[in-house]
Structure formats: structure tokens, C-alpha cells
Amino acid sequence: MTKAITINNLTYQYDDQDLFDGFNLSVEAGEWVALVGHNGSGKSTLAKLIVGLIVANGGDIDVFGERLTVDSVNDIRAQIGMVFQNPDNQFVGATVADDVAFGLENIELPSDEMPQRIDEALHTVGMENFKEREPHTLSGGQKQRVALASVLALGPKIIILDEATAMLDPEGRATIMTTLQNLKAQFGAELTLITITHDMDEAALADRIVVINDGRLILDGSPDVVFSKSQTMHDNGLELPFAGELTARLTVKPEKYLDERELIHWLSPSNK
Amino acid sequence: MNNIMIGRFVPGSSWVHRLDPRTKMIVTFVFIFVMLFASSWGTYALSAVFVVLAIRLTQQPFKLYWDGLKPIFWLILFTVVLQLFLTPGTPVVLHVGPLQVTWPGILNAIYVMIRFTLIILMSTIMTLSTPPTSIANALESLLAPLNKIHVPVAELALMLSIALRFVPLLMDETQKIMNAQKSRGMSFSTGGPIKRARAIVPLLIPLFVGALQRALDLANAMEIRGFKDAASRTKYRILLYGRQDVVAFIGTLIFVLIFIGIKISGV
């Protein structure tokens, strides 16, 4: 398997304090990785380092084998899309279509190819009927789906969602999660997803969960492995999802991590 | 805050709405320029007919335009009063202390009022029928020749459209901060002018901090989506002149020709 991202011996200081000191992580192409940690654990900083919005003090970051440097940063950004936390602060265009077009205009796509790319991207996130709407008439979840479409239109190999659901209501959050699952089903190994979150239900959808705290890697594994380490999670200021908390207290545990509905069914097979 | 009509866009699909934004901008500027030469009842009457016709073509109620005039009522009144008292000439109609009202003064005051009203109505037609981004696009296209003398037209147009896009957001934020402060006992509508002005300061500071944070976030989002500079970008919305733009230009030309005719014949 090819590596999408390799981080080697990364150091980064913030306010004269070491946030990262010799941090290593690699992400396989096509993987869905959830990066979790409490506020200030360094997870958002890591995302900004990967796309070169901030510069590390030491160590290397490789994206699909290409080393991140001042010269390569534009090439690397062309392969990575990023959705940020605040839905309003990343909406550049005056309408949904204009916002998706913004990135296409930047990469100097010919004007006559734009409508098709915009339609495709909006269709993927289920926003095709909102093309001419203005941002203030959309809900937070809809704006984030547009942000996702804006990124998708550029055809990235990696998408990083930096707390993209943190400011949304439960309904908006659910639509984003469904959209991500659809994306993964549609693009498969072509798309590497990194979701940065402190919502464990969200993290449970990923193939792999990476827990970081104070710039150190605490846990790394599939959701069922990570959620079985309930004490370590608590020590690092993280709550397990309800199903995880319950599983941790069971004497006889299911073989793999089960979400709430699956766990109910496992505990009482007659209960559908 | 919602009663401010200047610059507000009202969605629609009227004949004027469908015109190219550049056409509307050029016609408006030509009209304002021509109005500077209006000096007789004939020319004012003709201009008024032109404006009323244009208003009818937007298919919006007159009340909307009336609302558009209201905020500048005091400005119009101020200029009218100035004209009324400060125009010299004979015969003198009225003495008010050291000031005097002359017959040319009265005439001038009426002319200025009509001129002001017509110019405001004409610009309202443009802003009311054109989305802000189209105005920014039109400006970019019309000012393109300035690129030759190194004016960053594309950057300015992008800045303008982003600024316009954040207006409703910052309005909302202002309202939120005001509500938060009102709920803690702050009053924005009582006290003298100095007290009221001072109440604005604690409102502006969080607003500015918030706006700067937004600007930083937006800069990140733009950079990640491949923004390098405004000039080398392709365009999603391409402006094209159509048949009705030709009709609008011919209509304006006829107006200007009749205007000149009246002006020469001295009606």
C-alpha cells in the first residue's frame, strides 16, 4: 500500500513550548483516520502543519512521497482539501455555485468546464438543488456540505475535516457523517479521509483512531481496540461513546466494537 | 436595520433584472452625467419620464423606491434650504433676518430637489435589480483598462465582493453582541449623544476582534483552495451583452438626443 501521509520526527514550538517533539505518524492511502484529542491537544495544529499553513521547526512531512517544502507546498495543497470548523468563515462566494467555483477559478479551469464540475460536486453532497442560494439562507450543516463540495470539485486525494461538525446541531452533524460515509463508498481507495474531532460517535465511523495529547501519540488502532482502552481514554480527557462505556463495564464482551444499536441487539437478540 | 434600502438587492426576473450589470451601470452613469446639465422644466420633465419608465420596467412597487428615498430626505432638505437662502438675485421674495429668499433661489431649490431625487431613484434602480456580486463583476470588467496603469482591478473587485458577502454576517453579529450587552443592562437608546456614542465602543471592540478572526479563517480557507492572486484566475460567471442591452443603450441614446434637443431649443 502507498502511504498518503508520512510524518517523521516532527517538532513544532508554540509560544516557546514544545507542542510536538519527535512526533511520528503515517496514514495509508484510502484510509479513514479519526484524529482525536481534547482541546489544545495539538490535533488542529497537526492538520495546519500537514497543509503547510504553519511551518514546523523540524522533522519531515511527506504527502504521497513528496516532501513538504516551500517549493512543493502548492503541489501538495493541490492534493489535499480541507474543511474548517466555522461554516461561515470559509464561504467565499456569494452563492453556493460561486463558492464551489472559487477553487476552480483559482486552478484556472476553463469557464465552460465549470458548470459540470460544480453540478457533480454539489450532487455528491446532495446540495444540487441549492445552487443559487445565498449562504445566509442555509443551515450550518448545509454550509459545511457546500464547503465539502468546494473541496471535492478540486479532486483531492486527501480530505481533512478539522472539527467540521463542532459548530453544528445534531441533525447537521448527522448529515455530514452520512455524506462522508457516502463519499467513502463512492471513492473507496481513491480518497483518504482524516477527520479531526472530539466527538467519539464520529470517530467510531473511521477505520482507525489516533488519540493524541500534548503532541504525543497516545493510542493508535481500530475503533474497537481504542474504545476498549477506556482508562487510557479517560486519563487523556476523552469520553467514550455510550456503547463503549457500557462495553468497558461488561464482564463478557463482544468480539469487536459494536455501536449502540448493534450492542442492544447483541445483548438481547430478540430486541430489533 | 432592515429598512435601509440604499444598495439593497431585491430578487426578480424583470426586464431590468435581466440586463447585463455593465449596461445598468453605464446607463446610470450616463444619466447622472446628463442630469448635471438639466436646467429647465423641459429637461427635468424628460428625465423624470425616463426614470418613471425605468422604474416600471423593474416591476417593483413605487413604495420600495419611496423607502429608498427616505434615508436621504434630510440631505435633500439641507441642500434645498442652502439653495433657498444663499442664491443671490432679484426679485427678493422674503427677508429672514440677515438672509433673503429670492425668486431664482426658490427655482434653484426646486430644481436641486428634483435632480437629487431623480439621481437617487436611478441608482436605486441599479442596486435594486443587480446582485452585489454582479456589481463587483461589472466594475471589474468596466475598469479592466486600468490594469494597464497597474491598478489591481481584479483584487479590488474580489475584495469588494468578499466585503459585500460579509455584510449580513457582521450585521447578525452586531445584533448578537448588542443583545448580549442589553441582557446585562447596557442601553443603546437612552441618554445624550455622548453617552450613546460611548455605548458604541464596547460594541465595536468585540465586533472588530470577531471580524479579524473571520478574516484569518477566510484567508486560510482561500489559500487551501488554491488562491494565489486575483489576476490569474478564470471566471465562472461570464458577462455577455445581449439583445436587450442593445435596446437599453438605444433607449438611453434617444433620451440623451432629445435632452440635447430640448436644451438647445431652450424650452
Q: Give A104's pLDDT tier (boundaries 50, 70, 90).
A: very high
Q: Which pLDDT does position B3 carry in this prediction?
A: 46
With a cut of 70, say whether residue B267 has pLDDT above it. Answer: no
- Nearest residue of B to residue A107 by CA position? B226
Same domain assignment for residues A28 and A125: yes
Same domain, A257 and A194: no
Instruction: Please tell me the total number of residues recorded for chain A in this structure.
Output: 272
Task: Note the pLDDT of residue A10.
Answer: 92
Q: Residues 6 or more apart from B108 whose CB is under 8 A from it?
A: B83, B84, B87
pLDDT of amino acid B250: 95
**Percent of chain B at pLDDT exceeding 90:** 39
Interface ipTM = 0.86
pLDDT band at residue B6, thresholds of 50, 70 and 90? low
pTM: 0.81
Q: Residue A140 above 70 pLDDT?
A: yes
Mean pLDDT of B157-178: 86
Report pLDDT for B1. 40
* pLDDT for res B2: 46
Among the partner-chain residues A78, A88, A90, the one whose CB lies closest to the CB of B169 is A88
Based on the fold, state whether residues A231 and A247 are members of the same structural domain. no
Are A248 and A131 part of one and the same domain? Answer: no
More confident residue, A215 or A147: A147
How far B225 CA lies from chain A's nearest CA (Å)? 5
Which of the four pLDDT bands, split at 50, 70 and 90, describes residue A151? very high
Percent of chain A with pLDDT over 90: 61
Structurally, chain A folds into a number of domains equal to 2
The reply to whether A130 and A171 lie within a common domain is yes
Catalytic residue among A120, A132, A134, A163: A163
| Min distance B118 CA to chain A CA atoms (Å) | 30
A71 plus A87 within the same structural domain: yes
Higher pLDDT, B201 or A35: A35
Say whether A106 and B233 touch across the interface (CB within 8 A): yes
Collapsed DSSP state (helix, strand, coil) of residue A188:
helix
* Domain span holding position A249: 241-272
| In a shared domain, residues A126 and A50 | yes
